[in-house]
Amino acid sequence: MTAPFREASIDLDAIADNVRHFRRLTGVEVIAVVKADAYGHGAAMAAVAALSAGATRIGVAEIPEALELRRQGVHAPIMAWLHAPGERFEQAAAQDIEVGISSFDQLEAAATAAAVDRPVGVHLKFETGLSRNGIAPADWGRVLAEAARLERIGRLRIVGLFSHLSNTSAEDDRAALAKFEEGVAAAASFGVHPEIRHIAATAAAIDLPEMRLDAVRIGVGLFGLSPFDDRSSAELGLRPAMTLRGAIAAVRRVPAGTGVSYGYDHRTDRDTTLVLVPLGYADGVPRNASGKLPVSIGGRRFVNVGRIAMDQFVVDVGDTPVSIGDEVVLFGDPTLGVPSAADWADAADTINYEIVTRIGPRVPRRAS
């Protein structure tokens, strides 16, 4: 049987299993983070799989992502926390999307979007040391006083208080938690009592139990990838959800000294067989991993040779028998003997998050 030309197979059972794992591990609510098209896995189907396994809320970065999930039939609570300057929240409010608030101006915009019988759900974000978005400590009093007033008059519903950790060290993260707790105490002094408090993403949810609070935001762990350099997915009890595949598009027997791909960065050192894999940097294959990228063909591991091009790359399989149409597994679950996203990240000097997220739109996602 001929393999798919190019395809990312998404194991929805793995996503569901990973949610159940984090629910057991943490004992708190799981917010399934499906921003950036679920780290390349397909946002709607990943969200549905996560919710089926007990996730209580969906998290995305931007409101357009949340609106698309609504269009695709996801009815669970959704929060979005990164907004364009001057962004208006009427569309979000109309679709019952909760918005992260990082400034007084955003708070006012949320209140403006409320209807008489429809307060806007908000999560107030405190800046606790990451130096990104979030309400600065100097502004906490002003924002909290106004948020409390707007909740009393029915313009807002304060769903959550949250922040974001740097994952630099346990000491740094505990300092951020202490700052966050100052914000929570300040909120209480103004009569703000949220439904949930959340600060931990995947790494802190695993390693720092005191960070779990009322809910954890699980992103990369949802898809079975490890947030750590020194521990694999399997060691964490997670199952990778994405397998990237292609089919051999051409087979060529060549003599020693044959140049391969642009610039002839590689020349064969013996008579050998070269195969063409029809994915390239347009599909998210990292060009800077040229000559180092592992793949699996027929259950054996090989490394690409020559430069990775926009649409394709070449693998030297030696004397291994291969045919056009044979399957090439680029990465997947390493417990099955194939390269992992972490292996690709090592080859490209990056992180596994980037490897899966950068897989391009020419690669169909297929639920499995």
Which pair of tokens denotes residue 263? 């610039």
Number of Cα atoms under 13 Å in the Cβ half of residue 367: 12
The catalytic position among 179, 262, 292, 353 is: 262
Torsion from C-alpha of 98, 102, 108, 112, nearest 10 degrees = -20
Dump strand ranges (E) for 142-292: 156-162, 196-198, 215-218, 242-247, 250-254, 259-260, 266-267, 272-277
**Going by DSSP bridges, is the β-strand pair 327-331/272-277 parallel, antiparallel, or unpaired?**
unpaired
- Asked whether 225 and 189 are in contact (CB, 8 A), the reply is no
Collect all residues with Cβ–Cβ distance below 8 Å to 272 and sequence separation of at least 6.
253, 254, 256, 316, 317, 318, 319
**Going by DSSP bridges, is the β-strand pair 97-101/78-80 parallel, antiparallel, or unpaired?**
parallel
Collect all residues with Cβ–Cβ distance below 8 Å to 282 and sequence separation of at least 6.
310, 311, 360, 362
1 is in an annotated binding site: no
Q: Can you tell me the distance from the alpha carbon of 137 to that of 156, in angstroms, rounded to the nearest whole number?
A: 21
Collect all residues with Cβ–Cβ distance below 8 Å to 124 and sequence separation of at least 6.
100, 101, 107, 135, 143, 144, 147, 158, 160, 161, 162, 187, 192, 194
Active site annotation includes 35: yes
Number of Cα atoms under 13 Å in the Cβ half of residue 34: 30
Active site annotation includes 179: no
361 residue type, one letter: P
Annotate 255-283 with DSSP letters as a single string: -TT-EESGGG-EE-SSSEEEEEES--GGG
132 is in an annotated binding site: yes
Active site residues: 35, 262
User: What residues form the annotated binding site?
Assistant: 132, 310
Name the binding residues for substrate.
132, 310
